[in-house]
Amino acid sequence: MKPFQYLRPKTIAEAISMAADDPEARYIAGGTNLVDLMKRGIASPTKLIDINHLPLKKIEHRYDRLRIGALALNSEVAKHKAVVTRQPLLAQALLAGASGQLRNMATVGGNLLQRTRCSYFYDLALPCNKRKPGSGCGAEGGINRTHAIFFAGNGFGGIEKSSCLAVHPSDMCVALTAVDTVVVVNGPDGERRIQMKDFLRLSTQQPELDTNLGPGELVTAIEVLDNAFAKHSHYLKVRDRASYAFALVSVAVALQMDGGRIWDARLALGGVAHKPWRYWAIDLMLRGKAPSEQLFREVAEHEMESAKALEGNAYKIKLTSNAMVAALKTAAGIS
Ligand code: SF4
């Protein structure tokens, strides 16, 4: 591990000023991903700016939204009464992620910023455009069983426009993508509010970038807007083993139902793209209709028409379709 400076700012402004003029500086909170990356030589920050003492841990409901500080621990968020009652989809997704020990250490901000678990990214001897832009993609033509089936530009050229085939590892981000969420960041130019759909990036020209954060910007909170999905939401995660494993495929579903019909619908997929994949047409397809397995099968198959399998992950197309149907049925309360 290369030597680095360790800094402990007393205020948010001080933290930002420490990072502002140094592109190799990194903020650290729980460190559950960054420390691994440093030990393996994948990340070599010049400065580690420890933000753990900043006042960013609060979880509260204010006006029309749930505001969660970036330093709130995943385990605390998952059991917080306001989260469980108002945004159970988020609580379910958090509890599906990692292990109890990791959830006690990992923060909401770090969860947003965690990097891919593609094995080529973690092996310095192998090519990886995300780790070393222009070096190639080891997963292309390699072992890509866990990689993406949706890509930037699908329908407009597809896979060849994508320079990274990896998927985003977070469960939390899938739930936040399904519902209306704002990521609040502070930086040298002040506060910025970024819609969750615009916070993480699809892989195109710069696969080394996972987010649209600017230089020196610090995530300070997320805000989940109130909705009417609490009674009919479900997070389904399909993985190789029952716990402490990343999703092969996951589905976050949120429905608003009344009188036996669906009046609003949101759905996002995990484990299938460089960022959580929002299914934008689902509301149009389900609105005003009574839930049924046949209807859900039709909408799942409609979405999967734009999926493209790699050599090793064709199984994900059927798996994703079936997971969507199962999650929709559970959320709608039909068997
Ligand atoms: Fe690197 Fe992405 Fe290719 Fe994996 S899929 S080897 S992270 S470029």
Residue that the structure tokens 């933290």 belong to: 15
- Can you give the pTM of this predicted structure? 0.97
* Weakest mean pLDDT among 150-154, 194-198, 239-243: 150-154
Residues in the ligand 1 pocket, defined by CB under 6 Å: 116, 118, 120-121, 128-130, 137-139, 147, 164-166, 207
Determine the residue type at 173.
Answer: C
Q: How confident is residue 106, by pLDDT bands cut at 50, 70 and 90?
A: very high
Q: Ligand 1 pocket test: which of 117, 132, 163, 165 has the largest number of ligand atoms within 8 Å of its C-beta? A: 165
Residue that the structure tokens 């608003």 belong to: 256
286 pLDDT more than 70: yes
Tell me, what's the pLDDT at 154?
55
pLDDT (average), residues 283-301: 98
Tell me, what's the pLDDT at 162?
60
Tell me, what's the pLDDT at 155?
45
Residue with the nearest Cα to atom 2 of ligand 1? 164
* Weakest mean pLDDT among 3-12, 21-30, 145-154, 191-200: 145-154
Superfamily for 230-332?
CO dehydrogenase flavoprotein, C-terminal domain (3.30.390.50)
Comparing 154 with 99, which gets the higher pLDDT? 99
For the domain 1-54, what is the CATH code? 3.30.43.10
pLDDT (average), residues 46-72: 98
Question: What's the CA-to-centroid distance between 139 and ligand 1, angstroms?
Answer: 6
184 pLDDT more than 90: yes
Q: How confident is residue 156, by pLDDT bands cut at 50, 70 and 90?
A: very low
Q: Ligand 1 pocket test: which of 33, 40, 121 has the largest number of ligand atoms within 8 Å of its C-beta? A: 121
CB contact set of 51 (below 8 Å; sequence gap of 6+): 9, 15, 27, 28, 29, 71, 218
287 pLDDT more than 70: yes
Q: Which atom of ligand 1 is nearest to the CA of 166?
A: 5
- The domain limits of the chain are 1-54, 230-332
Q: In the structure encoding, which two tokens stand for residue 107, read together? A: 């923060």
Q: What would the 3-class secondary structure string for 208-251 be?
A: CCCECCCCCCEEEEEEEECCCCHHHEEEEEECCCCCCCCCCEEE
